[in-house]
Amino acid sequence: MAALLLTAAALCALSLGTPFVAPHRIAGAALEGDTTLAGIVLTELRVPRLLLALVAGACLGAAGLVLQEALRNPLAVPEMLGVSSGAALGVAAPLVLAVSLPAAVQPLTAIGGAVLGGGLTLLAAGLGRSPSAVLLTGAAVAAALQAALLVMMVTADQLDLQLIYRYLLGSLSARTWDDVSGLWPWLLVAVPALVLCAPVLSVMRLGDEDAEALGVRAGRARLAALAIAVVLIAPVTAVCGPVAWVGFLAPHVARRFAPTATAVRWLPWSAVWGAVVVAVADVPARLALAPVETPAGAWTALLGVPAGVVLLRSSRRGRPSGRGAATPRPAAAPAAVRAVPPGPRTAAPDGSVPGPGASGGIGKQAAGGFGDTPSAPHRDRGTEDAR
Amino acid sequence: MKRRFALAAALVALCAAVELVAGRGMSPATAWEVLNGGGDATERHILFQLRLPRTLVALGAGACLAVAGLVLQSALRNPLAGPEVTGVTPGAVLGAVTATALGLAGWDSPLAVVVAACAGGCAGAALLWLLTGRGGGDPAQTAVHGVLVSAVLGGVTAMVLLVKPGELGSVVQWLVGTTEGRVWQHWHLLWPWALVWGAAAWLLAGPLTLLRCGDDMALAAGLRAGRARTLALLCAVALTAGAVASVGALGFVGLLVPHLAVALFGADLRTALPGAALVGAAVVCGADAAAQLSSRLLAAVLDAGRFALPVGALTACLGALMLLVVVRRTPNRAF
């Protein structure tokens, strides 16, 4: 399925557009190199763009999974933690303020911004709060960062404005080999780290106490996971902007296809699906409103969010799915967002009315911040309100 | 309580006064002279045709947003719910942007922009409505869906903006929230709407106070929680749409002012709702005055002639800081 989609997207990416290169001629045209127009377009524009889409998607997908598993929160995605907005701010601020930076420094400013945004959210929301609390806080932080960026944009001139706005959503337009090659050093750091942290992540799902019992320092592991996520997201953001919602969709698709697996297996699949999503989204981004390019991020938001909602809703009761349950309890509502039977509610309190302290459908986790926060109510795991 | 209300009202008056004299083109002394019936035609025009409506719109929009936020937080029992996460704000922005891009509405026709924004806001809310199973969902889920709906609408807005890049400059102001260039027409559109829905919200104060205590309590007291919540959401959506249509997507006012109001006026919404309206009006108006003053300062420092800081920038920056405080203070079980 993934391979099929990937092949189709790659073929479309390489052959469609102006000039049109028939699929059977792609290899030949690419080999001609810079002697024909088609060859130049292929080797200098379309191939790097496709590569970048795949790499960026893989990074974002993997980062999304890392975040979701580390925070045990199905809604922890870069967009909702303020990480993406922060990184975008870090990249765009020098642009707007007309501070010229060498290209090598760009990922660093992006990382700085990402850490700022994510840190702000986690500082506000805390690590042990319910997923929806983190989500709402993250949305607010992201809004603040966006506002800061927009204010800068107001002071910029028209040309910058368009570039930045497109970039804010994530766009792959006009990306060349230089941009692709700038990503490798970061990947060299991130990929081994990912491989190392995958087993730890699968232990983290059990909840902090069980993880500690198995010898994982939960607080540190979580910090490390967040750091890895930032290192994955920031360079991609520096190059093509935070392509929206890939980190939300890809892990959920990966889990959907392998509901009983662990993080070790989900991680590569998340990366693959992330690559598929971005590659597929880039095709309409390039062609839908030609000659104007639309940002790929707008398409991923348009298509990805509804798809994600459907995925979240369709995880039926009783099937273990990727959610941040403290322990996999068979009687728990598995999805972060439960389908609600439509129609008027009866006045009689049925089981789905959340009692005080319950966060609908999303299991409350024991407050396990860094070490132990004295103020946090310490709950035994598994004593969630099983309604 | 009466003293607190008097204090809030005084604060509103003070902010409005500062807003009237804080602006470019006229010294405060001149403004005072014009208010006393002096001044030449230009000065009179600046004060009565530009500054006064701007002040009034800021007051009205602030009150609307604050009331909408308080209603939402009570209905959804979530201290972090705000108009931003109901799909209304991005929907309204999308409506305004689309209408502008299609050439249906320009900056010379405030009425068309306001109508488009209202339609967009209602569409965003309707989308949320459909997603959450027609209002029967539980509060946390409604909030989650709200964020997702907002994301989708943001994506559409971006598309429209990039297809019509020429509109971007003027529209960015919308995305942040600004009171620049508001005239009497905006005010005439805003106040009846705000009055009607504000009154509706006030009538709902009793049921909402019960909802704040939790659905079980409300049901035990004989309140049909689902129906009351639906009505409350409708009210909040209408108020938000009106406010966003008049000033754009002002961030954080609807999220944080309610906390301030509840802290000042207690959790009984019969007093907290009017209180929130007063505080919200004071906050937006004060922020706008501060934004104008700082614009003048910055323009002097940077030597940029036409630099104007949108009020949304200030509310967003202050809001982010206050949000940290609010979330840290809220006990964990409140979500």
| pLDDT tens track for A220-275 | 888 888 888 888 888 888 888 888 889 888 998 998 888 888 888 899 999 999 99
- Output the pLDDT for position B206: 92
CATH code for the domain in which residue B81 is found: 1.10.3470.10
Average pLDDT over residues A56-85: 86
Rounded distance, CA A11 to CA B184, Å? 57
Q: What's the mean per-residue pLDDT of chain A?
A: 74
A140–B138 CB contact, under 8 Å: no
Rounded distance, CA A166 to CA B278, Å? 39
Contact B211, B285 (CB under 8 A): no
- Output the pLDDT for position A376: 37
Average pLDDT over residues B14-22: 87
- Output the pLDDT for position A230: 85
Amino acid identity at A176: T
Name which residue leads in pLDDT, B130 or A127. B130
Retrieve residue A51's tokens.
Answer: 């590569």
Rounded distance, CA B111 to CA A220, Å? 56
Q: What is the 3-state secondary structure (H, E, C) of chain B?
A: CHHHHHHHHHHHHHHHHHHHHCCCCCCHHHHHHHHCCCCCHHHHHHHHHHHHHHHHHHHHHHHHHHHHHHHHHHHHCCCCCCHHHHCHHHHHHHHHHHHHHCCCCCCCCHHHHHHHHHHHHHHHHHHHHHHCCCCCCCHHHHHHHHHHHHHHHHHHHHHHHHHCHHHHHHHHHHHHCCCCCCCHHHHHHHHHHHHHHHHHHHHCHHHHHHHHCCHHHHHHCCCCHHHHHHHHHHHHHHHHHHHHHHHCCCCCHHHHHHHHHHHHHCCCHHHHHHHHHHHHHHHHHHHHHHHHHHHHHHHHHHCCCCCCCCHHHHHHHHHHHHHHHHHHHCCHHHC
Confidence of residue A361 (pLDDT cuts 50, 70, 90): very low
- Output the pLDDT for position B28: 77
Confidence of residue A315 (pLDDT cuts 50, 70, 90): low
A144–B169 CB contact, under 8 Å: no
Give the pLDDT confidence of A188-199 residue by residue, as tens digits.
988 999 988 888
Give the pLDDT confidence of A14-55 residue by residue, as tens digits.
888 777 877 877 877 777 777 778 888 888 888 889 999 999
Rounded distance, CA A332 to CA A346, Å? 23
Residues 75-94 of B with CB under 8 A from A: 78, 80-82, 84-85
Q: How many helices (H) and strands (E) does chain A have?
A: 15, 0
Rounded to a whole number, what is the distance in Å from the CA of B189 to chain A's nearest CA? Answer: 26
Number of domains chain B contains: 1
A377–B332 CB contact, under 8 Å: yes
- Output the pLDDT for position A357: 36
Q: Is residue B332 pLDDT above 70, yes or no?
A: no
Contact status of B214 with chain A (Cβ, < 8 Å): yes
Chains A, B: CB pairs < 8 Å: 213
Residues 132-161 of B with CB under 8 A from A: 132-134, 136-141, 143-145, 147-148, 150-152, 154-156, 158-159, 161
Average pLDDT over residues A282-310: 83
Q: Is residue A166 pLDDT above 80, yes or no?
A: no
* Closest by Cβ to A151, choosing from B84, B225, B310: B310
Please report whether residue B335 resides in a domain: no
* Chain B environment of A158 (Cβ under 8 Å): 165, 168-169
- Highest-scoring range by mean pLDDT, B11-20, B23-32, B61-70: B61-70
Retrieve residue B265's tokens.
Answer: 């006026």
- Output the pLDDT for position A6: 87
Please report whether residue B23 resides in a domain: yes
- Output the pLDDT for position B6: 94
- Output the pLDDT for position B108: 66
Please report whether residue B334 resides in a domain: no
Name which residue leads in pLDDT, B173 or B216. B216
Give the pLDDT confidence of B54-92 residue by residue, as tens digits.
999 999 999 999 999 999 888 888 777 788 777 888 888
Side-chain-side CA neighbours of A65 within 13 Å: the count stands at 34
Rounded distance, CA B313 to CA B297, Å? 16
* Chain B environment of A295 (Cβ under 8 Å): 158-159, 162
Average pLDDT over residues A102-117: 82
Domain assignment of residue B47, given as a range: 2-329
